């Protein structure tokens, strides 16, 4: 169980997140912070125990896929059993508020649970992550009637949810959606085909559809899209025109059903405002992106742990391969990748939690059940705004980093296993197969770095760097200060490189990945230093991250600054050689 509830998670639970303010804002002064924190720890311990106990069965059942039987999706036994255990412990739909029967868990705790589940079985995490995300979107955007009707059923695990966006012609580009929502006499009916839908056989679908009234004018854009809750069964108990037409066979996450879903005159209920569906869906996707980053961390942990254990026991040339300098360096690099990504994810979660807590406090103030001074109100509003900007940049970066780390760590783990790693039954081979999809769904890595670039273009770097600079300048201990100074110098390099991109949009797009890498490097560096201050055993981790990444950063920034859009012509002529 300890592997699942690691020291670094406890470090955030005990020291690196300001839980007192969170609980005070979220629940009021009467909240008992030590008791609440102990309860959060208990929740994590329960999840860790279930995952550790179920891990052998989940790993053994890895190759078994969900089946389609007479239109119903049937989970393989290892998934159904673990899902039931989590459900019995109340660990599905983590974010549903207490008033609707949930635990209202903070994003940090919810994402650590997803990370644990992913470590045990990434396919199961996909099912659970979607379930939690759909419930949270209903909670955030649904009418009170929809919330009362569905959230208690999500919290108890009675119903499962799916998010239906993708269509054959609309993948990364959701402006191409053609599923149609027609409203007549106050009732709305949805028609269209969705593909690649996780949990596609479930009861509750959140469908992004184009409204018939503005269909032609809005075609090709994300305007005119609305979000509808479409149940599989109507209020009269009869089928509601939602059917699974196919289940996919995949390279990995076999336990998670991926379905083609058809909507034929299926009645739907508006979630949020008409024409604003894309925005509501973005909020779901942002939560889901943190979830997929957690999924990547979980897979990365499992692969790294397996690789280290193998490298310690496999002897070649008279010594364990773990003692070969090249292998030591590789294992250290894998650990750095994992921990850098984790640092970014946990900070993004902590910020999301802080903002949710501020929103709850403000709602109480609006309702008149709490009084705060105008000055305090303005201070909290400014903090919320600053956090919001940070979250919008950190979320795509955390998703990009966590999932690319899972991909490369699991690939490295295969290499460390040599030929054994390439055998069909190889544990790390399976983990690598599971890792690949994390860089694709909930927005591909290319889409994440483009989103990050967009936020930088809107000025996010200034806000994010202001906070980071303040944090870095606070380190006084000489060794920590030295490292912090290197990061501060890196930030100056980045500002110069970002400035060079402002002149040409195409060149900026071409450089989006390089820019995302360097920005993520300094953000993770600041967080790793905070970890090292709280736990000196993590000093070498922070130092190594900064030493390696700042050298790389300098080279990348130099390349960005010395280039121009002409590089695209060069790309074209290089590609022509391969055609």
Ligand X SMILES: Cc1cc2nc3c(=O)[nH]c(=O)nc-3n(C[C@H](O)[C@H](O)[C@H](O)COP(=O)(O)OP(=O)(O)OC[C@H]3O[C@@H](n4cnc5c(N)ncnc54)[C@H](O)[C@@H]3O)c2cc1C
Query: Which residues are at the interface with ligand X (CB under 6 A)?
Result: 130, 162-166, 171-172, 196-198, 250, 258, 437, 440-441, 443-444, 446-447, 450
Q: How far apart are CA 71 and CA 200, in angstroms?
A: 11
Q: How near is the Cβ of 449 to ligand X at its closest, in Å? A: 9
Torsion of CA 167, 168, 173, 177, to 10 degrees: -40
C-beta closer to ligand X: residue 114 or 529: 114
Q: How near is the Cβ of 89 to ligand X at its closest, in Å? A: 24
Q: How near is the Cβ of 511 to ligand X at its closest, in Å? A: 12
Q: How near is the Cβ of 517 to ligand X at its closest, in Å? A: 16
CA-based nearest residue to 257, from 248, 266, 265: 248
Q: How near is the Cβ of 67 to ligand X at its closest, in Å? A: 16
Q: Which residues contact 524 (CB under 8 A, 6 or more apart)?
A: 340, 341, 343, 344, 401, 545, 549
| Backbone φ, ψ for residue 465 (5° rounding) | -70, -30
Asked if residues 227 and 177 have their Cβ atoms less than 8 Å apart, the reply is no
C-beta closer to ligand X: residue 199 or 354: 199
CA-based nearest residue to 550, from 326, 336, 294: 336
C-beta closer to ligand X: residue 167 or 301: 167
Q: How far apart are CA 501 and CA 516, in angstroms?
A: 13
CA-based nearest residue to 146, from 208, 91, 228: 228
> 152: buried, middle or exposed (CB in 10 Å: 19+, 13-18, 0-12)?
middle
Asked if residues 111 and 104 have their Cβ atoms less than 8 Å apart, the reply is no
C-beta closer to ligand X: residue 74 or 176: 176
Q: What share of the chain is helix, strand, coil (3-state, %, to 5)?
A: 65, 10, 20
C-beta closer to ligand X: residue 4 or 441: 441
Q: How near is the Cβ of 553 to ligand X at its closest, in Å? A: 23
Query: Residue 240, SS3?
Result: coil
Q: How near is the Cβ of 174 to ligand X at its closest, in Å? A: 9
C-beta closer to ligand X: residue 115 or 438: 438
Residue with tokens 């979660």: 349
C-beta closer to ligand X: residue 164 or 407: 164
Rg of the chain in Å (alpha carbons):
24
Asked if residues 10 and 45 have their Cβ atoms less than 8 Å apart, the reply is no
Q: How near is the Cβ of 210 to ligand X at its closest, in Å? A: 15
Q: How near is the Cβ of 124 to ligand X at its closest, in Å? A: 13
Q: How far apart are CA 428 and CA 449, in angstroms?
A: 27
C-beta closer to ligand X: residue 30 or 572: 572
Token pair of 402 as six digits: 């966590």
C-beta closer to ligand X: residue 152 or 171: 171
Q: How far apart are CA 256 and CA 198, in angstroms?
A: 7
Query: Residue 239, SS3?
Result: strand
Q: How near is the Cβ of 442 to ligand X at its closest, in Å? A: 6
Q: How near is the Cβ of 126 to ligand X at its closest, in Å? A: 7
Torsion of CA 149, 151, 152, 157, to 10 degrees: 120
Query: Residue 319, SS3?
Result: strand
* Nearest residue relative to ligand X (C-beta): 171
C-beta closer to ligand X: residue 198 or 511: 198
C-beta closer to ligand X: residue 196 or 507: 196
Question: Helix (H) and strand (E) counts for the chain?
Answer: 19, 11
Residue 111 pairs in a beta bridge with none
C-beta closer to ligand X: residue 8 or 515: 515
Q: How near is the Cβ of 268 to ligand X at its closest, in Å? A: 16
């Amino acid at each position: 169980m300890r592997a699942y509830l690691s020291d670094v998670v406890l470090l955030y639970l005990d020291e690196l997140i300001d839980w007192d303010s969170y609980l005070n804002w979220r629940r009021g002064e009467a909240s008992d912070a030590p008791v609440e924190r102990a309860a959060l720890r208990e929740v994590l311990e329960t999840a860790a125990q279930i995952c550790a106990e179920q891990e052998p069965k989940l790993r053994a059942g890895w190759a078994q896929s969900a089946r389609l039987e007479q239109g119903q999706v049937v989970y393989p036994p290892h998934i159904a059993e673990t899902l039931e255990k989590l459900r019995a412990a109340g660990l599905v739909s983590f974010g549903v508020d207490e008033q609707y029967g949930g635990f209202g868990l903070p994003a940090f705790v919810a994402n650590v649970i997803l990370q644990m589940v992913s470590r045990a079985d990434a396919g199961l995490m996909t099912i659970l992550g979607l379930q939690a995300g759909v419930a949270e979107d209903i909670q955030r955007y649904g009418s009170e009637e929809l919330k009362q009707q569905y959230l208690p059923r999500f919290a108890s695990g009675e119903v499962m949810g799916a998010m239906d966006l993708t269509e054959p012609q609309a993948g990364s580009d959701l402006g191409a959606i053609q599923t149609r929502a027609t409203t007549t006499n106050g009732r709305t009916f949805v028609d269209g085909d969705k593909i690649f839908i996780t949990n596609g056989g479930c009861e509750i679908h959140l469908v992004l559809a184009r409204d018939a009234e503005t269909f032609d004018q809005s075609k090709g854009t994300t305007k005119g899209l609305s979000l509808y809750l479409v149940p599989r069964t109507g209020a009269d108990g009869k089928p509601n025109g939602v059917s699974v037409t196919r289940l996919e066979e995949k390279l990995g996450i076999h336990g998670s059903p991926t379905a083609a879903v058809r909507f034929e005159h299926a009645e739907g209920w508006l979630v949020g405002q008409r024409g604003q569906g894309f925005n509501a869906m973005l909020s779901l996707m942002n939560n889901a992106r943190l979830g997929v980053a957690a999924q990547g961390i979980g897979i990365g942990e499992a692969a790294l742990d397996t690789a280290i254990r193998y490298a310690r026991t496999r002897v070649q040339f008279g010594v364990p391969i773990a003692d070969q300098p090249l292998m030591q360096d590789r294992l250290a690099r894998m650990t750095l990748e994992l921990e850098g990504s984790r640092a970014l994810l946990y900070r993004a979660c902590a910020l999301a939690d802080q903002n949710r807590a501020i929103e709850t406090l403000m709602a109480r103030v609006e309702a008149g059940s709490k009084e705060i001074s105008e000055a305090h109100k303005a201070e909290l509003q400014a903090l919320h705004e600053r956090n919001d900007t940070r979250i919008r940049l950190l979320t795509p970066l955390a998703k990009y980093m966590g999932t690319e780390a899972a991909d490369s760590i699991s690939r490295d783990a295969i290499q460390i296993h040599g030929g054994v790693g390439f055998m069909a039954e190889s544990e790390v081979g399976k983990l690598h197969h599971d890792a690949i999809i994390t860089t694709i769904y909930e927005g591909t890595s290319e889409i994440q770095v483009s989103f990050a670039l967009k936020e930088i273009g809107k000025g996010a770097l200034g806000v994010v760097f202001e906070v980071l600079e303040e944090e870095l300048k606070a380190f006084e201990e000489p060794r920590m200060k030295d490292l912090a100074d290197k990061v501060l110098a890196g930030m100056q390099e980045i500002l110069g490189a970002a400035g060079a991109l402002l002149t040409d949009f195409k060149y900026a797009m071409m450089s989006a990945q390089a820019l995302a890498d360097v920005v993520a490097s300094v953000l993770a560096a600041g967080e790793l230093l905070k970890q090292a201050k709280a736990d000196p055993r993590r000093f070498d981790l922070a130092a190594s991250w900064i030493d390696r990444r700042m050298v790389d950063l300098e080279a990348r920034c130099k390349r960005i600054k010395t280039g121009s859009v002409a590089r695209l012509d060069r790309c074209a002529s290089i590609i022509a050689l391969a055609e």
